[in-house]
């Protein structure tokens, strides 16, 4: 698609004078969640800045979903505190819920209602006055390029259209923080890229704070300002992509040898990190046998596998 996304009205996404603050939009301090005395989330602490796009990564069972459920008030932490826009996620659930929008991986719009009816129902649930509600519905359907499908039943929409409708619905009540759970999973490359443009526009140009979980590393590299990596319920790494590459190495020597010591089970490559690509090339040139070896720049997936010992898939 080449269509230009219409800009969102400033009143929709810009905090008021009393809300605009240097404080964190989302703050977790020593958060733990136990199930039958087993910690699924264990002493988790991090902040998300206002206007930041934050990517939360981790292998299956790392505690990501439980963390999101706690932030969005669906479950309570066993210990620690969670605040969103200054509101406590346990003591002030109603205020937190009114300040968040959530786009789930699973299709959560009603397939037997039309596009417009889904938006109208959501607007009424949030007690948005009729005149304002109609204006917002018109705006957000135009924003996600669904104005011409407003009368169509959701069951007739493609997967990408349904995801765009979920985003429009999540924005209808003017949330301060948007949660995106695997927003492009199962979509074709062209549709994924179009959703990237919509998400990036909301974050970079409209200033909406976002937290995203995804299994697509290229998605995180393109969209996220900072990245948090979880494993076994703990935050094991936090920073920008460049900061992570600085810490772990910008250069990578790969050796094709599935039986090498240090290679991952079932993986045909052994990886060795270096501070720079130049140093990686120097190491490669010093090897008497360069068979099956190559140098390239490290990326987020390399660092993720190095930290967790496994890929997201």
Q: What is the pLDDT, as a whole number, of residue 5? A: 47
Q: What is the pLDDT, as a whole number, of residue 261? A: 43
Residue 307 sits at the vertex; the CA angle it makes with 301 and 313, to the nearest 5 degrees, is 50
pTM (2 d.p.): 0.85
> CA-CA distances (angstroms) from residue 76 to 66, 95, 295?
10, 15, 47
CATH superfamily of 10-14+22-243: P-loop containing nucleotide triphosphate hydrolases (3.40.50.300)
Q: What is the pLDDT, as a whole number, of residue 158? A: 92
The residue ranges of every structural domain in the chain are 10-14+22-243, 250-297
Q: Which ranges of the chain have pLDDT less than 70?
A: 1-22, 257-267, 310-313
Q: What is the pLDDT, as a whole number, of residue 61? A: 87
Two tokens at 42? 């264990």
Q: What is the pLDDT, as a whole number, of residue 258? A: 53
Q: What is the pLDDT, as a whole number, of residue 267? A: 55
Q: What is the pLDDT, as a whole number, of residue 99? A: 95
Each residue's pLDDT tens digit, 111-127: 999 999 999 999 999 99
Taking all residues of the chain, what is their mean pLDDT, rounded to a whole number?
88
Q: What is the pLDDT, as a whole number, of residue 83? A: 96
Q: What is the pLDDT, as a whole number, of residue 202? A: 94
Q: What is the pLDDT, as a whole number, of residue 112? A: 94
What CA–CA distance (Å, rounded) separates 164 from 157? Answer: 10
Q: What is the pLDDT, as a whole number, of residue 1? A: 42
Each residue's pLDDT tens digit, 136-184: 999 999 999 999 999 999 999 999 999 999 999 999 999 999 999 988 8
Contact status, residue 70 vs residue 31, Cβ threshold 8 Å: yes
Tell me the CA end-to-end span of the chain in Å, nearest whole number: 29
> CA-CA distances (angstroms) from residue 234 to 50, 64, 227, 237?
23, 10, 14, 9
Q: What is the pLDDT, as a whole number, of residue 82? A: 97
Q: What is the pLDDT, as a whole number, of residue 105? A: 79
Two tokens at 59? 């292998």
Neighbours of 173 (CB within 10 A): 20
């Amino acid at each position: 698609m080449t269509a230009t996304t219409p800009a969102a009205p400033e009143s929709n996404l810009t905090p008021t004078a009393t809300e605009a603050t240097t404080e964190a939009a989302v703050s977790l301090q020593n958060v733990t969640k136990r199930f039958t005395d087993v910690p699924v989330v264990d002493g988790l602490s991090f902040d998300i800045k206002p206007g930041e796009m934050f990517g939360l990564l981790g292998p299956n069972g790392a505690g990501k979903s439980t963390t999101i459920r706690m932030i969005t008030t669906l479950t309570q932490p066993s210990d620690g505190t969670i605040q969103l826009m200054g509101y406590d996620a346990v003591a002030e659930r109603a205020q937190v819920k009114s300040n968040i929008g959530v786009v789930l991986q699973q299709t959560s719009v009603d397939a037997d209602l039309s596009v417009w009816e889904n938006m109208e129902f959501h607007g009424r649930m949030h007690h948005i006055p009729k005149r304002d509600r109609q204006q917002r519905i018109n705006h957000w359907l135009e924003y996600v390029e669904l104005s011409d499908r407003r009368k169509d039943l959701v069951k007739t929409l493609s997967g990408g259209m349904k995801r765009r409708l979920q985003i429009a619905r999540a924005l209808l009540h003017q949330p301060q923080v948007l949660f995106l759970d695997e927003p492009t999973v199962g979509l074709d490359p062209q549709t994924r890229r179009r959703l990237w443009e919509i998400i990036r526009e909301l974050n970079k140009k409209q200033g909406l704070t976002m937290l995203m979980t995804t299994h697509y590393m290229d998605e995180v590299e393109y969209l996220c300002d900072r990245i948090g990596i979880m494993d076994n319920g703990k935050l094991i790494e936090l920073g920008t992509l460049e900061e992570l590459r600085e810490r772990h190495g910008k250069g990578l020597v790969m050796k094709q040898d599935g039986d090498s010591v240090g290679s991952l089970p079932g993986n045909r490559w052994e990886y060795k990190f270096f501070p720079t690509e130049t140093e990686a090339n120097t190491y490669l040139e010093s090897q008497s046998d360069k068979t099956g070896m190559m140098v390239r720049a490290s990326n987020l997936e390399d660092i993720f596998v190095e930290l967790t010992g496994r890929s997201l898939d």
